Amino acid sequence: MSSEIDEYNGGSVLAMLGKNCVAIASDKRFGMKLMTLGTEFPKIFQATDKIYIAMAGLATDIQTLSELIRYKINMYKLREEREIEPTTLAYMVASTLYERRFSPYYVSPLIAGLDKNNKPYICNMDLIGCVTTTNDFVVGGAADDCLLGTCEALYEPDLEPEDLFETISQSLISAVDRNAASGWGAVVHVLTPERVITRTLKTRQD
């Protein structure tokens, strides 16, 4: 499922939904084909206090798109005088991607967040903006098939934040270990209504 462009710079991302919480995780590798150039390239960006967006794919497009989205979120806040909701953000990103239907940004974005009533929300998109909203987990990047396999088997609904952290971490580490283009460390953010806990995982450094 992942194409050669996903594997050019490498990287994988994953988000899961739990009981009144969401978790979002990514690896930290940045490479050029088989050569690893950096090991501090997490692919998760904070959109608002309660929404995080992760992107895997071509690194230059990840950076460009994250800046573009940051601009759009700030403009939204200035105009609407309130924070953007996760579903709105999802469709805003989708429109931005679909605008370039015939010359796309090579990214697979994921969005994880809590809405104004603290209801958890996750979704992912393909490179031209087809939004897929689920109640369990979403994946993207070079190891997306491996991630789908581990998540499908390990995921359980209604996990507490501490358990959700364990499940998402184990899914991510097992999957990226089987993918040459992802790895070199991992970051996991767990979002609950009260706080956001960020952990760096101890993984194989290859």
Residues binding other proteins (CB under 8 A)? 1-6, 8, 49-50, 57, 80-83, 85, 94-95, 97-106, 108, 116, 126-132, 134, 144-146, 148-150, 152-154, 156, 159, 162-163, 165-167, 169-170, 173-175, 177-178, 193-202
Give the CA-trace dihedral at 110, 116, 118, 120, to 10 degrees.
-20
Residue partners of 119: CB distance under 8 A and separation at least 6: none
Give the three-class secondary structure for 130: coil
- Closest to other proteins by CB, 36 or 85: 85
Please state the closest distance from residue 36 (CB atom) to other proteins, in A. Answer: 18
Rounded distance, CA 27 to CA 172, Å? Answer: 8
Please state the closest distance from residue 193 (CB atom) to other proteins, in A. Answer: 7
Please state the closest distance from residue 124 (CB atom) to other proteins, in A. Answer: 9
Rounded distance, CA 125 to CA 89, Å? Answer: 12
The residue among 140, 136, 118 whose CA lies nearest residue 191 is 118
Please state the closest distance from residue 175 (CB atom) to other proteins, in A. Answer: 5
- Closest to other proteins by CB, 38 or 134: 134
- Closest to other proteins by CB, 36 or 108: 108
- Closest to other proteins by CB, 47 or 127: 127
Rounded distance, CA 80 to CA 118, Å? Answer: 20
Please state the closest distance from residue 177 (CB atom) to other proteins, in A. Answer: 7
> Of all helices (H) and strands (E), which one includes residue 154?
helix 144-154
